[in-house]
Amino acid sequence: MKKLWILGVGIIFMAFSSCSTVPLTGRSRLNLVSDEQVLPMAFQAYGEFLTENKGAVLPSSSSQAQRVKNIGNKLIASVKNYMNSNNYGDLIKNYQWEVNVVESKELNAWCMPGGKIVVYTGILPVTKDDAGLATVMGHEIAHAIAGHSAERMSQEMVSQGLGVAGNVALSKNPKTQSIFNTLYGVGTPLVMLKYSRNQELEADRLGLIFMAMAGYNPQNAIGFWERMASASQSSQKPPEFLSTHPSDATRIAQIQRVLPEAKKYYKP
């Protein structure tokens, strides 16, 4: 019992002393892993993904890749400008931004820690236009900027009782690597990380702001998510309380609530 009590106190102390703040939203997040730990793993995993899917990665000269990269570069430039101008520059100083397009029927896109982005061609018909694509990419970039992967890793470490003895500080901690591999599905063709509903809604909010900063009307995000809901109707969805993603109605309702905030950053 005494050991369990000490472990519990240690975890509580660790949680309170290892919090950071999400830019723009101001939410406190648990962060037990540093960029020095996470980014090398992310860069390696991204490289492995591109190697495993070499035949599916579209060449930069293709029209689809050029369009996606152009929109991605606008978003990246706006995010970098905001972060560097508002004392958040340290959070992205080690990012190595990169955008690739992968031929796949998957309705998906993602951004790893450190700015490594992939967009699947399967989602392009649903994005429909540049604003729709900016909605998706802004949302995924927001996951990285908000540190959602590090937060998920930290939660896993707390649940496994790691960090109390100083393991968190070890840059080559094999258990940290194992958690990262579990969350990201390293060695598989798809990234497996799933975020909580609250993190998804936070990424929606930040994504709207980022797309607005890049010159895309955030109002168009509603149309994208409505099209995404229609495209997903053919597959069975679990009830919202069983899913890591919010329901379509919850997501769209929140976007409507935060649109006035995002529009403040929009300059056509």
pLDDT in tens, 46-80: 998 999 999 999 999 999 999 999 999 999 999 99
CA distances from 213 to 72, 83, 199, 207, 221 (A): 12, 12, 21, 10, 14
Does residue 1 lie within any of the structural domains?
A: no
Does residue 191 lie within any of the structural domains?
A: yes
Can you tell me which residue has the tokens 């998906």?
A: 108
Does 30 have pLDDT greater than 60? yes
Instruction: Specify the amino acid at residue 160.
Output: Q
Domain with 226 in it = 33-263
Residue of 187 and 115 predicted with greater confidence:
115
Residue of 45 and 178 predicted with greater confidence:
45
Does this model's pTM top 0.85? My answer is: no
Residue 10 CA to its chain's centroid (Å)? 29
Instruction: Specify the amino acid at residue 154.
Output: S
Neighbour count for residue 240 (Cβ, 10 Å): 15
Residue 228: which H helix or E strand, with range?
helix 220-232
Packing angle, helices 35-52 and 174-184, rounded to 10: 50
Pick from 127, 161, 168, 160: nearest CA to 38: 168
Which residues are the active-site residues?
A: 140
For position 265, what pLDDT does the model report? 96
Work out the mean pLDDT of the chain and round it to a whole number.
81
Q: Which residues of 63-85 are buried (b: 16+ CB within 10 A; e: fewer)?
A: eebeebbebbebbbebbeebbee
Count structural domains, the chain: 1
The answer to whether 251 and 204 have CB atoms below 8 angstroms apart is yes
Does residue 104 lie within any of the structural domains?
A: yes
For the chain, how many residues are written? 268
Mean pLDDT (whole number) for 146-171: 62
Does 22 have pLDDT greater than 60? yes
Mean pLDDT (whole number) for 257-262: 96
User: What does residue 42 show for φ and ψ, rounded to 5 degrees?
Assistant: -65, -45
Max Cα–Cα distance, the chain, nearest Å: 64
Beta bridge partners of residue 110, listed in sequence order: 118
CA distances from 154 to 2, 20, 91, 157, 161 (A): 24, 12, 17, 5, 10
Does 122 have pLDDT greater than 70? yes
Does residue 268 lie within any of the structural domains?
A: no
Does residue 211 lie within any of the structural domains?
A: yes
For position 243, what pLDDT does the model report? 62
Does 19 have pLDDT greater than 70? no
CA–CA–CA angle 183, 189, 191 (5° rounding):
30
Residue 237: which H helix or E strand, with range?
none
Does residue 24 lie within any of the structural domains?
A: no
Q: What percent of the chain lies above the pLDDT cut of 70?
A: 73
pLDDT tens digits for 125-149? 999 999 999 999 999 999 999 888 8
Does residue 95 lie within any of the structural domains?
A: yes
Does residue 127 lie within any of the structural domains?
A: yes
CA distances from 64 to 23, 125, 249 (A): 31, 11, 30
Neighbour count for residue 129 (Cβ, 10 Å): 12
Instruction: Specify the amino acid at residue 186.
Output: V
Mean pLDDT (whole number) for 160-188: 56
